[in-house]
Amino acid sequence: MSQDHLTKPIQSAMSPHQTRAHEKSLPWPRPADNPDSKHHPVFRSVWFAVNILLIAAVFFAAYSTGWEFSTRRYLKGFSDAIVPATSPGDEKVEAILHWMAHGPARRRSEAEKLQGDRDPTDTLNYEALLRVCGTATNAFINLVDTGHMQVRRLLLVDSHEMTKHVVAEVLVDGRWIVVDPTFRIVMRGADGQTLTREELTDPATLAVATRELRGYDPSYTFDQVVHIRLARFHVFGSLLRRILDHVIPGWEDTPSMTLLVERESFAAMVSSFLLLIFLILLRIALRWYGEKRLGVHSVHIRQQLRRACHAFLDAT
């Protein structure tokens, strides 16, 4: 009697529940000599690649989270030494500007080499970077954010959305007041009151606020401003801005968007978690497609963990 005749009575005697349990216990991918195995080399290659990318994304997310945590601890050390914790918002802003103007001697470097740097561990320590509007605003924004205040950057642009100057807006007493970290000044009117960007669109008000600033370029006006400049992507950037403005009105006004472009560690952490979520969803979709459309059954992670726990407990 052949082996097939021996196995058929056994298989016919198994209940449907036992059959499904037996199929789940089979390894995946199934052996090539298994008659129930279906060969889908492309699917198996994609599955393997997605799993490798998912593992890499987990490590990237862990690394970027540690990077952001260490950056926040570094900034907290600066903030605790500079920003008075119990003072009102405008006094905190003035304390940061005073430190930037009269702080201890910092390392010297050529600003051109680090001008595109958005790491606060650099912008807070190089004297040349604190004299450039972009990196000076970066240092200011990171300190204000660590001081538990809402802050966002403001780009003064021309008709082609080319950046002329970079300043910051800080939420104080319900108003987004304008601060120029490059000139170490809070914009104030003739009565000494802080000014918003809407108020600074008036040329007379702007002239009063900047009359004592040596080297202030008269072209630094507030008639055209953006928070996030997408013009560097040319046609794609303009299209992306229109889509975002339609789908998520006010998307660039949030302080979180400013931190994405002003702190590398925060941007890396957000990107890594978005990538991780995408790969998890992609893996779930691939598993569903393989099981429902191709007949390729995979062992779920929870089953693998359950088997690993049973094996560990049995060994102990």
**pLDDT tens track for 3-48:** 444 444 444 444 554 544 444 444 444 444 444 445 678 888 898 8
Q: For residue 83, is pLDDT > 90? A: no
Buried b (16+ CB within 10 A) or exposed e, 257-284: bbbbbbbbbbbbbeebeebbeebeeebe
Q: How far apart are CA 225 and CA 155, in angstroms?
A: 5
pLDDT for 43: 84
pLDDT for 28: 45
Residue type, 243: I
Question: Which residue pairs from 110-118 have beta carbons closer than 8 angstroms and sit at least 24 positions apart in sequence?
Answer: 111/135, 118/261, 118/262, 118/263, 118/264
Q: For residue 109, is pLDDT > 80? A: no
Q: How far apart are CA 142 and CA 265, in angstroms?
A: 12
Prior bond to 41 cis, omega within 30?
Answer: no
Stretch 91-107: mean pLDDT: 81
pLDDT in tens, 150-206: 999 999 998 877 889 999 999 998 999 999 999 999 999 998 899 999 999 999 999
pLDDT in tens, 231-274: 767 777 778 888 888 888 888 888 999 999 889 999 999 999 99
Stretch 108-113: mean pLDDT: 57
Angle between helices 133-146 and 255-262 (to 10 degrees): 120
Q: For residue 226, is pLDDT > 80? A: yes
